[in-house]
Amino acid sequence: MNPEFVDSYEVGVKGSTPDRRLSFEGAVFYYDFKDQQVSQLVPGSLVSLQSLTNAAKTRVYGAELEINAMPTDALFVQAKAGLLDAKFSEFLFDPSNPASSLAGNRTASSPKLTLAGLARYDIPLGAHTLGLQADGSYTGGHYFTPDNNPVIYENGYWLANTSVALRSANERYTVSLWVKNLFNEKYFVSGLANASLGFNETFPGLPRTFGITATGRF
């Protein structure tokens, strides 16, 4: 196993209106990996094990954008977007087998598009503030393994969350009720191909969950 090296290049910009009601920031980046350490599954007759191997060259292009807006003192809105193109340039999955090249494959868990948005509205209640919030995110389709096995490919999916929070005047105390994955979206967060054992493994994300959180600062 060789150490991993990366040359990283990034250019960004950010700014805001004079009244700070609107702000933005964006960046484009390029990563040039050499000997990137990649997790791989090593099949066996009784059990499959995970180990690390080196991908000779990997190149990653991307861009990110974030916009924040406060149309009124009570309303805050945020939007984010990300573009990613991450592929192996040179990678022999089995160094002893020239036919095992994965050059051109997308890296694992690298969606081409991600989106996120948030809206929060604050309502004064005497010495306290009631905050109503809704947020959501989109994760584009992606592979879970470097060989881009289509059997354990995750299609793009949306997640939505919501919360109601009561905050003290100085935000020293907060009590919030929240719901995550509001629409009970079914999706997977990782996967493994155990072909030698005759099955694949996929690990689901959390279903709809809800709870209450109380915090204090001293």
CATH number at residue 35: 2.40.170.20
Q: Comparing 93 with 50, which gets the higher pLDDT?
A: 93
Confidence of residue 202 (pLDDT cuts 50, 70, 90): confident
For the stretch 58-84, pLDDT in tens is 999 999 999 999 999 999 999 999 999
Tokens of 18: 């004079």
Q: Comparing 79 with 96, which gets the higher pLDDT?
A: 79
Domain tally, the chain:
1
Range of the domain at 37: 5-216
101 DSSP assignment: B
Sheet holding 209-216, edge to edge: 5-16, 22-42, 49-69, 75-90, 113-125, 128-139, 157-168, 173-180, 209-216
Average pLDDT, the chain: 91
Of 58, 66, 87, give the one whose Cα is nearest residue 12.
66
Q: What is the mean pLDDT of residues 90-109?
A: 88
CB-based contacts of 38: which residues, under 8 Å, 6+ apart?
A: 52, 53, 54, 55, 91, 107, 108, 146
pLDDT at 139 over 90: yes
Burial class (CB in 10 A: 0-12, 13-18, 19+), 36: buried
Q: Are 97 and 74 in contact (CB under 8 A)?
A: no
The predicted structure's pLDDT at residue 197: 66
Within a 13 Å sphere around the CA of 142, how many CA atoms are in the beta-carbon half?
Answer: 25
pLDDT at 10 over 60: yes
Q: What is the mean pLDDT of residues 36-40?
A: 85
Q: What is the mean pLDDT of residues 118-137?
A: 96
β-pairing, 5-16 with 49-69?
unpaired
Q: Comparing 196 with 101, which gets the higher pLDDT?
A: 101
The CA-to-CA distance between both ends of the chain, in Å, stands at 48
Q: Are 39 and 26 in contact (CB under 8 A)?
A: no
